[in-house]
Amino acid sequence: MISKLNHVAIAVPDLDAAITLYRDVLGADVSKKADLPDHGVTVAFVNLDNTKIELLYPLGESSPIISYLTKNASGGIHHLCYEVEDILKSRDQLLEKGMRILGSNEPKEGAHGKPVLFLHPKDFCGTLIELEQV
Ligand code: CO
């Protein structure tokens, strides 16, 4: 079902500082910031040869990142994103196996304009997992 690691997402308390850190200290290629109102986040991507790092910052009062940053004031790893070929087929297989999907079970448009779903961390070793159809 899952294939490549698409990205690792890091929640950050200061997005500009995180961009500067990755671009100027670590010498990485970092994208422009983009607001994703459907997900309550502003993101910037660090483009590495073999994967990406998604820098996540809260957007709006009900952002899902706010509670994470309240518990982890200096930021931290928030989720892993794995690629799948067919997100609806993957969803149905996971539901059949008793796995829980966050929200409505319907894919939303993700940061790359592709459909995504989030899986319940309690079903996956305490890790929030995003699936992205590529
Ligand atoms: Co993500």
Q: How much of the chain, in percent, has pLDDT values that exceed 70? A: 100
The one-letter amino acid at 87: I
Q: Is 132 a catalytic residue?
A: no
Is the pTM here over 0.85, yes or no? yes
Question: What would the pLDDT profile of 20-78 be if each residue is shown by its tens digit?
Answer: 999 999 999 999 999 999 889 999 999 999 999 999 999 998 898 999 999 999 999 99
pLDDT score of 12: 98
Which phi and psi angles does 92 have, rounded to 5°? Answer: -60, -40
pLDDT band of residue 115 (cuts 50, 70, 90) is very high
Cα 68 to ligand 1 centroid, rounded to whole Å: 15
Ligand 1 mean position, distance from CA 94 (Å): 19
pLDDT of residue 112: 85
Annotated active-site residue in 54, 83, 130, 132: 130
Domains in the chain: ranges and CATH = 2-133 (3.10.180.10)
